[in-house]
Amino acid sequence: MPTPAHRVVIAVFPDVDLLDVTGPAEVFALANRVTAGERYDVRLAGPAAGPVRTFAGVRLYADVAFEDVGEGVDTLLVPGAVDVVDDGVVARIDGTVVEWVRATAPHARRVASVCVGAHVLAAAGLLDGKTATTHWSTAAQLTADHPNVTVDPDPIFVRADRGRIWTGAGISACLDLALALVAEDLGEETALSVARQLVMYLKRQGGQSQFSVPLSRPAAGRRDIDALRLWIADHLDDDLSAAALASRMCLSERHFARVFTQETGISPAAYVEAARVEAARRLLETTDLPLDQVAATSGLGSAETLHRAFRRRLATTPAAYRRRFRTQPA
């Protein structure tokens, strides 16, 4: 007997971000291809059936009007749109979309937002008392507008309410979110096959973080410092003390520390710890390795040091982090 299709309904509306819609749709289509089956049935729903102009200027076609979607939705996916203001962007909250999401969500097995679509879920009351993420540029707005929502601007996606509510980070993170949904539905092997088709990591190298440690710091003016940062990422279990790094740079320890901090805005010790914590996060997300092995592989040495670093940098424990971000339970 064939596996029933997951009915995915993606909201579309004027000025919606194009990739927020087409990225997940492509992931679900590729999941159908690699499984040689119709696992996902994707439909676009809009205020009215017909063409919808996106922010990119490209027109999408809504298969069905909001009022005709009905019940039996497996996955309700809500993308976002922004308005440009003098000091940046603000998430657009379309009342028609909010009301439809509020009415439709109770009939859906799960609801997911992409990018600033989290603001729509929050306005519909779906995120109260939950942790959520959104594009980093509107995280402060989400916090201010919805004090009952715990906003974490760092993760690529957040899974809440026992997997019923998902929120994704900005723009290309829609692919990571959709892959995680496929992994939950069809298993990580299928999701990995889809990721290979997309020529991307099933879990991006930055782990759940929107920015990996090298990308989160500004580019250095000195090429040798940038090269050192990349070298550190590949040698986390080496001796990365300030003295060892200074020796590698052929500088005195004092001069090296001053130059590194000047160029990156962070001390060598703090940078190394951040890089090691990021590596530990990836291992916790993607493997079942015991904590002492995670600590050793990431260069943190011992489980005790791993715990201290996680408490200091993430205000959580490695075990709690794994429970929260492991796509498939370890």
Per-residue CA distances from 266 to 178, 238, 251 (Å): 34, 20, 18
pLDDT at 204: 57
DSSP summary character for residue 299:
T
Burial of 4 from C-beta contacts in 10 A (0-12 / 13-18 / 19+)? exposed
Provide φ and ψ at 173, rounded to 5°. -65, -15
Last residue of a domain, one of 137, 165, 198: 198
> What is the spatial distance between Cα 100 and Cα 124, in angstroms, rounded to a whole number?
9
- Counting every residue, how long is the chain? 330
In terms of domains, do 168 and 223 share one?
Answer: no
Going by pLDDT thresholds of 50, 70 and 90, the confidence category of residue 132 is very high
In terms of domains, do 118 and 188 share one?
Answer: yes
The CA radius of gyration of the chain, in Å to the nearest whole number, is 22
Six token digits for residue 247: 């020796």
Give me the sign of the Cα torsion angle 28, 289, 303, 130.
Answer: positive
Q: Is residue 154 part of a domain?
A: yes
Going by pLDDT thresholds of 50, 70 and 90, the confidence category of residue 202 is low
pLDDT at 221: 63
Angle (deg, nearest 10), helices 173-186 and 18-35: 30
| CATH number of the domain within which 276 lies | 1.10.10.60
Q: Is residue 24 part of a domain?
A: yes
Burial of 118 from C-beta contacts in 10 A (0-12 / 13-18 / 19+)? buried
pTM above 0.75, yes or no: no
Domain assignment of residue 280, given as a range: 213-330
pLDDT at 149: 94
Please give the full DSSP string across 155-173, using - where no structure is assigned: BSEEEEGGGTEEEE-STTH
Q: Which has the closest alpha carbon to 77: 41, 117, 37? A: 117
78, 114 Cβ separation under 8 angstroms = yes
How many C-beta neighbours within 10 Å does residue 153 have? 18
Last residue of a domain, one of 156, 173, 198: 198
Average pLDDT of the residues in 127-149 = 93
How many C-beta neighbours within 10 Å does residue 19 have? 20
**Counted domains in the chain:** 2
Q: Is residue 206 part of a domain?
A: no
Residue of 9, 108, 115, 174 with catalytic role: 115
Last residue of a domain, one of 198, 232, 261: 198
DSSP summary character for residue 280:
H
Burial of 100 from C-beta contacts in 10 A (0-12 / 13-18 / 19+)? buried
List all residues 6 or more positions away from 261 whose beta carbon is below 8 Å from its beta carbon.
Answer: 267, 268
Q: What is the tens place of the pLDDT at every residue in 1-46? A: 355 689 999 999 999 999 999 999 999 999 999 999 889 999 999 9
Q: Is residue 1 part of a domain?
A: no
Going by pLDDT thresholds of 50, 70 and 90, the confidence category of residue 201 is low
Mark whether 115 is an active-site residue. yes
pLDDT at 257: 92
In terms of domains, do 190 and 219 share one?
Answer: no
Q: What is the tens place of the pLDDT at every residue in 292-325? A: 999 999 999 999 999 999 988 877 889 988 877 6
| CATH number of the domain within which 189 lies | 3.40.50.880
> What is the spatial distance between Cα 191 and Cα 180, in angstroms, rounded to a whole number?
7
In terms of domains, do 150 and 242 share one?
Answer: no
